[in-house]
Amino acid sequence: MNELPTPNHIYEGDCLEVMRRWPDACVDHCIADPPFNMSKKKGLGWAFSSHVTMQETWDRFSKDEFFEFNVNWLREVCRVVKPNGNILVFGTYHNVYQLGFILRDVLDRRIINSIIWFKPNAQPNITARTLTESTEQIIWAVNNTPSKAKGWVFNYDEAKEVENGKQMRNFWDADRLNLWPVPVVPPSERRLGRHPAQKPLRLTDRLVMLATHRNALILDPFAGVGSVAISAIRQLRRYVLIEKSAHYAHIAQNRLAAFLDEHEVARIRRLGGLAMTLNDVELAILRTVPVPQADRLDLVFDVASFVEEGQYTRAEIAERLRYVGRQGPYYADAAMALRLVGIRRATAEGAEEIHVTPIGKGYLGSSGVAREVTRRHIVLNAPIMKYVASALGVTSDGSPVPYPIPEPLVDEAAVASVLQQFDLARNTAERRAGTLCGWLQQL
């Protein structure tokens, strides 16, 4: 057990055999969609049709085999996930009660939530003998005992932002979230191949957003066709997948390759269509923090001085900004969007450390009127400002935004329409537009 898992890699094989090669506490979190033990040797037939389904051999166990299997893989997951990391496990009535019993009573893990996913277009009940199963549950456990579990990741503010400032609930349907209902997998996500238990990206996106941190290494021991990995990439996380079937592993690899290629093509099309140029640093910033969400511009600039004084992480900066509450971490991201600070990977585990950039040092070295002019120059030359200005026709080639500030740049509706190009929901784009236009009014 001395082989560290390779980030952003698909391991083909049995998850128990693969995980047993890894050391303790080597991944940050786990999102798992294990076999439900629903399949039958002769499949399931519909009372009013000749259609037969659920014949997969990987989803068939005897009663004792299934319990032993679930204990073994969950035990290994608890070993390789870091203490207080999150473990999210899918299930239905076929297996979810057993999984909950094992996590709580056999492995002594703390269960903090269950999430109910309502599927508005679920498959009909093919037996015509019971109610149509239109939900799945997700058990949310913390990898520690109930008395020691602490500090688990829950991105509360991101969840509230999705819910228009309200606390997110654990029943996910059309009335609760602006991006829901989450249907079963759309055809566009199955064009390279399908899996009978495939989860839609809108669902895995939400789980990754809620329960993991940026740059986290997320384990999926039953990877299927790789939805968790794609969601990880979309949200600047890393993944490690395990898939027993060579067929599904191949589909996952193709989906990842296609997603990365399409993502790059879409980015080039958006930027190229605006006839603007961005250097590598500006492009990296747009990918990492495309649209800031910290309203107080003075506090954003204060981040550079905080880092100079020794606050090198988002958590330390948030603590320094205690009176802004949970919004604190956003200010570090906003300072990075303005190129006042940058991130360097400080450890082999991928820990992030913030440092002051030359632009930030130039700002800190100025004073009086010169500092005000420097502040204006930094804001107007931020990658997101150059992007918006080009999209609105204020500039055409990524050149500096002129001053006085042109009217289109303080038109919140116009700016919001541009920000939706970053795959933001309409109401989110409107709030972020308010932030950017507010910055310009504060200059």
| Mean pLDDT along residues 127-138 | 84
* Residue 47: pLDDT over 60: no
152 three-state secondary structure? coil
> What's the pLDDT tens digit per position in 380-423?
989 899 888 888 888 866 667 888 888 999 999 999 988 887 76
Task: Categorize the per-residue pLDDT at 327 as very low, low, confident or very high, splitting at 50, 70 and 90.
Answer: low
Gap between the Cα atoms of 292 and 288, Å rounded: 10
Selected from 3.40.190.10, 3.40.30.120, 3.40.50.150, 3.30.420.40, the CATH number assigned to the domain covering 9-264 reads: 3.40.50.150
- The more confident residue out of 165 and 231 is 231
Confidence category of residue 33, pLDDT binned at 50, 70, 90: very high
What average pLDDT is seen over the chain?
Answer: 82
One-letter amino acid at 406 equals: P
Residue 180: pLDDT band (50, 70, 90) is: very low
How many C-beta atoms surround the C-beta of residue 337 within 10 A? Answer: 24
Q: Enter the tokens of residue 419.
A: 């920000």
In 73-207, which ranges are E strands? 86-91, 110-118, 135-142, 171-172
Calpha distance 297→37 (Å, rounded)? 54
For residue 81, pLDDT beyond 60: yes
- Is residue 107 over pLDDT 90? yes
C-alpha span between 88 and 207 (Å, rounded): 8
- Residues 101-113: what's their mean pLDDT? 97
40-44, 288-292, 315-319, 334-338: least confidently modelled range: 40-44
* Residue that the structure tokens 């609930």 belong to: 169
More confident residue, 174 or 372: 372
Mean pLDDT of 117-135: 77
**Helix 383-391, helix 412-419: angle, nearest 10:** 100
> pLDDT tens across 187-229, in order?
555 555 555 556 888 889 889 999 998 889 999 999 988 999 9
Q: Please, where in the chain does CATH 3.40.50.150 lie?
A: 9-264
The pLDDT of residue 247: 92
3-state SS, residue 239? strand
Peptide bond into 181 cis (omega under 30): yes
- The pLDDT of residue 100 is above 60: yes
SS (H, E, C) 304-318: HHHHHCCCCCHHHHH
Q: What percent of the chain has pLDDT over 70?
A: 79
Distances (CA, A) of 103 to 76, 81, 108, 221: 12, 14, 6, 16
pLDDT of residue 59 exceeding 60:
no
The arithmetic mean of pLDDT across residues 337-359, rounded, is 76
This prediction's pTM: 0.66
Q: Looking at the predicted structure, is the pLDDT value of residue 349 above 70? A: no
Predicted pLDDT at 37: 78
Out of 65-69, 146-150, 345-349, least confident range: 345-349
Mean of the pLDDT values across residues 363-385?
91
- Give the model's confidence band at 46: pLDDT under 50 very low, under 70 low, under 90 confident, else very high: very low
In this prediction, residue 317 carries a pLDDT of 84
Residue showing tokens 């440092």: 355
Least confident range from 158-172, 210-224, 354-368: namely: 158-172
Task: Report residue 42's pLDDT band, with 50, 70 and 90 as the boundaries.
Answer: low
- 1: which 2 tokens? 């057990």
Residue closest to 70 by CA, chosen among 113, 102, 30: 102
pLDDT at residue 127 greater than cutoff 50: yes
